[in-house]
Chains A and B, each alone.
Chain A
Amino acid sequence: MNSPLQAALWRFYRTNRMETALRIGSLTCLLVLVYWPAQSLGDLQLQAVRGVAMLMLLTATLFSSAWLSGLDGTSLHRVEFVRPISTIWMVLVPMSLSILSAMLAYVLPVACLRGLFDAPLPLLGPMAWIMSAVSCCSAPIWAASSPRSRWLGFVAGLIFCSILVALFHWRHQSSLPFLLALGDADYFQFHWYEFLLCLVITGLSLLVAVIGVDHQRHGLKWPWFRHQHEVRGRSTRARDPSTSIATIIGTFAKRPFRSPLAFRGPLAAQIWFELRRVVPTVAMLSILAPMLILAFCLLCPLVDPEWNSASYVWLVASLCCPLLVQFAGADRALGLQHRQGTAWLSSFDASRPVHCDYLVGVKLLVIAVCSLVGSLLMVAVAGAHAGFSGDWRAWQMLSDRLVEVAWYWWPIGLLNLLLVYIGSTSALLVFGLTLALRPRWMSVGIVLGLLQLLLAIWDAKQGWQLQPIWAALCYTTAIALVIFCLWAVRTALVASTVCWTWFRWILGLWLVYAVTGCVALGKLLPALPFEPPLALTVLAYASLVIALGTTVLAPVSLAAHRHG
């Protein structure tokens, strides 16, 4: 590396390559999966699907760990301050690269959709919006020096962006609802002054970030904070008479520090530890998510007076909420330390005298409890909204369906739900832990999956000419799944990573799940409008082992981190 620019580019590449590749790959996969089956729909429905795709794209490209990781203060190390480069250079290069990577994360999936399906998705307008939004939200993270002010700045940036979007939508005077308008290619036809505004916002954000980092670099405070500090100092000095009654009362009233009570045992301590690690993120999410849905449901009637789908939105949100909390909880519960693109388990975590299955069990329990609480909160807000608006239709429909279910399905369903939850959470843990340990394997796997998906779409358009290959792939995958699961079970038991008691419980639950799954598949497959190929049927049955495999594999993955 011959120049600071090359070094900065290399550093950005090394610390963000995996995340960027994952983001672009998963976005492309997801959008293709959403858009592919929607092609047979009518124009209006297709426009709605495009709207959903645009919403997903804009949201996903905006939130990138390239700059979000700065919220915990890891984007800017003090060591950077002593590098012989100017502050402008120090800030502008990584910020610009973050913006460019966000824009790239939009352009590539859109280009893919355009190429595959001729989807009329806009390019320039959204890119300008992404540029200004990313810079606007990331600037306070760079500029602020304390975690609290970083978060405040980030939230303020988000609110500012939301206001801009609302103003844009209002100025556009579109008669369509927001989601449909997003799917309209003409919606993002920006005027020259709108592009200019985006540029100005970006420029100002970069300026704020540069000034903020420069202040941090030289140990200065912002003028407003400096003033506050001086005022606080003066007022403290003024109220500091050493012999006043207030001081004496204050001395007595000062609460002495009391050490907390000891835990009852390792289980209680570990649950407390995981809760402390998971709860802040999950609690914020559990509060923010219902608030966002509530805002959406209150704003929609203002945009479209005939809109009356609030109860359905709440129903979908209530069903998705456990998944959302599960994702966020699993991410936090991994307990990996991240720095500069590398992740590892701290020796504090690794050297705890507790078995891996025990640690994973506590993580699963904590995530489940958090999901339950998050869902209850969502349902409570949904109930309050339904109570005020009097719209209970979706809930009524759900309860009518549930009443029809025979009594014996309830315990079976609960047991299945339990295993599915344990299995899916374990899968998330396995994914996160393995991604940190073997990033190359995982990225190769994702790329292969993506290529396979693209090939499947191409082949579907050609009328499934490669059917023998797909059949062979299905059989191979089915066999690989079963072998992989057996290997996972054997490894876990031989290495004592999973104790027999835990395994027996999981095996019992899995047997119930497998029997139910077989019965359900036996009824579902013949009822399909087309006859599924035998290979696909075999794969569907074989995939029932995934839940057992991931559940057993989670402690093995943790042990791989723990024991090198």
Chain B
Amino acid sequence: MPDPVVDVQQLSRSYGRTQALKQVDLLVRPGQVYGLVGANGAGKTTLIKHLLGLLRAQQGQVRVFNRDPVREPVPVLQQIGYLSEQRDLPEWMRVDELLRYTRAFHPGWDADYAAELLDTFGLDPSKKIKELSKGMRAQAGLIAAVAHRPQLLLLDEPSTGLDALVRRDILNAIIRAVADDGRTAIFSSHLLEEVQLMSDRIVMIDAGQILLDGTLDDLLECHHTFVVDTRNAPIDLVNLPGVLSSEDHGPHSKLVCEHPRVNHEELLANGAQIIQARGATLTEIFVARAGRTQVGKMQQTDEVAMS
């Protein structure tokens, strides 16, 4: 098995009283696209910043290419392409100056690829960054991030500002090209359909903790959605082990379940009448998982308050 590109162990980080990451473990193997999924403030950007060495680990360990990105920034960052969420590129630079400048730090710069991407996006290289729209800035940043064909591509909310066409076709093509070359891409997003479209593996993060880490196929396979009629059920089905969430729609309920633990037979045995059964979407899985965490937190708070 090849060496992991990223090895995060027991990583914790807090900003004042806010715990941004709690004992996160993550192992990223080469040649795959990782979708980092989470709500706003879940800790996606904090995790990415640790991989870049832009944040020093307060607890735990971060290794990228088997190196510490804080102690050895040069060899690590040379192999990484990064597009930040803020797109904070120097406004006084022209697009061609940005590429020229970035090129100097990356010996493996592919000028033809950069020119091809410039052409694809239709970006004017003589324009200053400050004259570009938000989407164009994202495109310029994306070219600067991928043109040296990095071993690890880190994209923080890459689709922000990009139109649907660029998002669906070009961004997907760029990320797939990285993975097909045997390199690795990690991108964060809260657009779950997009993540489902592009990723090989999903890392679901919520409130600084990793809820799920697995291949997309496994994840989809082991989560099912049942629409059931619960009027005749003697017990509340949401209390069944393996039922992650329940959403009431009049006489019917939509249950998102972990598949091997909850199946047709079990639901029927508990008095539910199954109206529809299908594989869960990523959005349903995320909402069920994240909602469960929130409910758990609220219950804990209630218990503390009661005691």
Which residues does A use to contact B, with CB under 8 Å? Answer: 257, 259-266, 268-270, 272-273, 276-277, 337, 346-348, 350-355, 495-496, 562-564
Quick one: given A259-B125, A269-B104, A562-B54, are A337 and B73 in contact (CB under 8 Å)? Answer: no
Which residues does B use to contact A, with CB under 8 Å? Answer: 49, 52-56, 70-78, 80, 82, 84, 86, 88-90, 92-93, 96-97, 100-101, 103-106, 111, 125-126
A353 to B144, CA, bound (A): 13
Most central of A350, A355, A496 by chain B CB within 10 Å: A350
A115 to B48, CA, bound (A): 56
A261 to B88, CA, bound (A): 24
Query: What residues of chain A lie closer than 8 Å to B105, measured between beta carbons?
Result: 266, 269, 352-354
- Partner pick for A563 among B54, B74, B103, CB 8 A cutoff: B54
Please name the residue on chain B nearest to A347 by beta carbon. B84
Query: What residues of chain B lie closer than 8 Å to A276, measured between beta carbons?
Result: 92-93
- Partner pick for B49 among A265, A269, A353, A564, CB 8 A cutoff: A564
Cβ of B101 and Cβ of A257 under 8 Å apart? Answer: no
Q: Would you give 14 A-B contacts (Cβ < 8 Å), ordered by A?
A: A257-B125, A261-B100, A269-B101, A269-B105, A273-B101, A276-B92, A347-B84, A347-B88, A348-B89, A350-B54, A353-B73, A353-B106, A562-B53, A563-B53
- Partner pick for A564 among B54, B75, B97, CB 8 A cutoff: B54
| Cβ-closest 9 pairs across A and B | A269-B104, A353-B77, A564-B55, A263-B104, A347-B84, A346-B88, A563-B56, A353-B78, A257-B126
In the complex, how many angstroms separate the beta carbon of A371 from the nearest chain B beta carbon?
22
Query: What residues of chain A lie closer than 8 Å to B74, measured between beta carbons?
Result: 353-355
Cβ of A351 and Cβ of B82 under 8 Å apart? Answer: yes
Most central of B70, B82, B86, B101 by chain A CB within 10 Å: B101
Please name the residue on chain A nearest to B148 by beta carbon. A353
A323 to B72, CA, bound (A): 35
A276 to B129, CA, bound (A): 14
Quick one: given A353-B74, A563-B53, are A262 and B88 in contact (CB under 8 Å)? Answer: no
- Partner pick for B55 among A259, A346, A563, CB 8 A cutoff: A563
Query: What residues of chain B lie closer than 8 Å to A496, measured between beta carbons?
Result: 71-72
A269 to B75, CA, bound (A): 18
Query: What residues of chain B lie closer than 8 Å to A272, measured between beta carbons?
Result: 101
A318 to B100, CA, bound (A): 37
Please name the residue on chain B nearest to A263 by beta carbon. B104
Known: A259-B100, A348-B88, A563-B55. 9 other contacts (CB 8 A): A257-B126, A266-B104, A273-B90, A277-B92, A347-B49, A347-B54, A348-B89, A353-B73, A564-B55
- Partner pick for A352 among B71, B77, B88, B125, CB 8 A cutoff: B77
Query: What residues of chain A lie closer than 8 Å to B106, measured between beta carbons?
Result: 353
In the complex, how many angstroms separate the beta carbon of A282 from the nearest chain B beta carbon?
15
Cβ of B82 and Cβ of A262 under 8 Å apart? Answer: no
Cβ of B55 and Cβ of A263 under 8 Å apart? Answer: no
Quick one: given A260-B97, A347-B88, A348-B90, are A355 and B103 in contact (CB under 8 Å)? Answer: no
In the complex, how many angstroms separate the beta carbon of A554 from the nearest chain B beta carbon?
17
Query: What residues of chain A lie closer than 8 Å to B88, measured between beta carbons?
Result: 337, 346-348
A346 to B96, CA, bound (A): 20
Most central of A262, A348, A355 by chain B CB within 10 Å: A348
In the complex, how many angstroms separate the beta carbon of A254 from the nearest chain B beta carbon?
12
In the complex, how many angstroms separate the beta carbon of B111 from the nearest chain A beta carbon?
8
Query: What residues of chain B lie closer than 8 Å to A564, measured between beta carbons?
Result: 49, 54-56
Quick one: given A276-B92, A496-B71, are A262 and B103 in contact (CB under 8 Å)? Answer: yes
Please name the residue on chain B nearest to A147 by beta carbon. B130
